Amino acid sequence: MLTLTCLTQLLRFTGLIRPARVRFSLLSAVLLIGLSGLAGTDGLAQTGSTASSPSSNEFPTKPLRFIVPYPPGGPLDVMARVLAEKVKISLGQPVVVENKPGAGGNIGADLIAKAQPDGYTLVMGAVATHAINPWLFASLAYDSVKDFAPIALVGSVPNVLLLNLDFATKNNIQTVQELIAYAKKNPGQLNYGSGGSGSAGHLAGALLSVRAGAEMVHIPYQGAAPAQLALLSGQSALMFDNLAAAANLIREKKVKALAVTTPVRSGLLPELPTMQEAGVQAFDLGTWFGVFATAGTPAATIAKLHAAYATALLEPEVKERLKTMGSEAAVLSPAQFAAFVAQERLKYQEVVKLSGAKAN
């Protein structure tokens, strides 16, 4: 090691300093040596920082945002919060659920379409945001295929045809065919409510009207909950509601349920026939929802997110929650989920065109 004495002698021997300047020169040399040492240390620190900079392999290194494009309290919001608690254990980071409702789910979905493709912002997309709205709205701020990276299908829930109990009792309507017969005898007199123009309930009612050849009047409400209240009060005679939201009303016999809208019966209420079994052909309108990231998110990040959500979907608590909604946990790979969404888009393109439905 170069000591202070050795340094002094060396500088004098070489004649680079005079005795009067020894103190100043020594100070300068010490400072230079110190600065050189600091620079070397800093260089090592910078190299370490670069080596440990965040990458898709180290994802996640901070909390995630999980956007629900609908109001709090609904089935999608509930499931998002249940999953967030499970997924944070797998990922080792908090998953913060945020509700961003509006425009039939378009506002929340658009946030993800325009987010950084790093996997830290996700959305609980649904049949409306990714399969119906592209055909329902004259213009959409996002592309439901090109702007998203599918991660996991969470669940698929039937809709169910409900009648106001007093209306059904008074007119002795017990089946779908009896409802159709009534509608044909009273054209334009039968009102059906929905959660809004272009909602799954709106499309189902419009499709029934077309398939049955019976004119019915659509009454859009600001959400499924107000539409349900309108049905209970008799403001509307019927509605197609999400089975998860309607199950308790059906069990408590506050409404008359006629059929489910999916091709197979629901395990939640197996006694209810499907619309096709009830005589209305080509009627397949379920409600599904799943997790999406922004397009361009690294494949390793997508794989890690899929693994976390797939694991959560197989947990007993989550499976039981889905079961109470009338859904079974359906674990699809990201590629399978993408193919499913593409299929649904094509199906609803035809349904929207056939129904003539347009978003206001």
Compute the average pLDDT of residues 113-129.
96
**Looking at residue 330, what is its pLDDT?**
74
Same structural domain, 119 and 26: no
Q: How many CB atoms lie within 10 A of CB 189?
A: 12
Same structural domain, 35 and 166: no
Same structural domain, 18 and 140: no
Total domains in the chain come to: 2
Which span out of 4-18, 81-95, 328-342 was modeled with the highest average pLDDT? 81-95
**Looking at residue 104, what is its pLDDT?**
84
Instruction: Give the residue among 117, 103, 116, 109 at the shortest CA–CA distance from 68.
Output: 109
Q: How far apart are CA 254 and CA 241, in angstroms?
A: 14
Q: Are strands 95-99 and 148-164 parallel, antiparallel or unpaired?
A: unpaired
Q: Which of 23-37, 70-84, 167-181 has the lowest mean pLDDT?
A: 23-37
Boundaries of domain holding 9? 4-51
Task: Tell me which DSSP letter residue 356 carries.
Answer: T
Compute the average pLDDT of residues 111-125.
97
Same structural domain, 14 and 141: no
Same structural domain, 143 and 40: no
The reply to whether 146 falls in a domain is yes
Rounded CA Rg of the chain: 31
Same structural domain, 354 and 241: yes
Q: How confident is the model at residue 102 (pLDDT cuts 50, 70, 90)?
A: confident
Single pTM value for the model: 0.77
Over residues 233-272, the pLDDT tens digits come to 999 999 999 888 898 899 999 999 999 999 999 988 999 9
Q: Are strands 286-294 and 255-260 parallel, antiparallel or unpaired?
A: unpaired
Kindly tell me if the per-residue pLDDT of 31 is higher than 70: no
**Looking at residue 56, what is its pLDDT?**
56
The reply to whether 56 falls in a domain is no
CATH of the domain at 260: 3.40.190.150
Q: Which residue has the higher pLDDT, 233 or 356?
A: 233
**Looking at residue 79, what is its pLDDT?**
93
Same structural domain, 208 and 337: yes
The reply to whether 25 falls in a domain is yes
**Looking at residue 187, what is its pLDDT?**
93
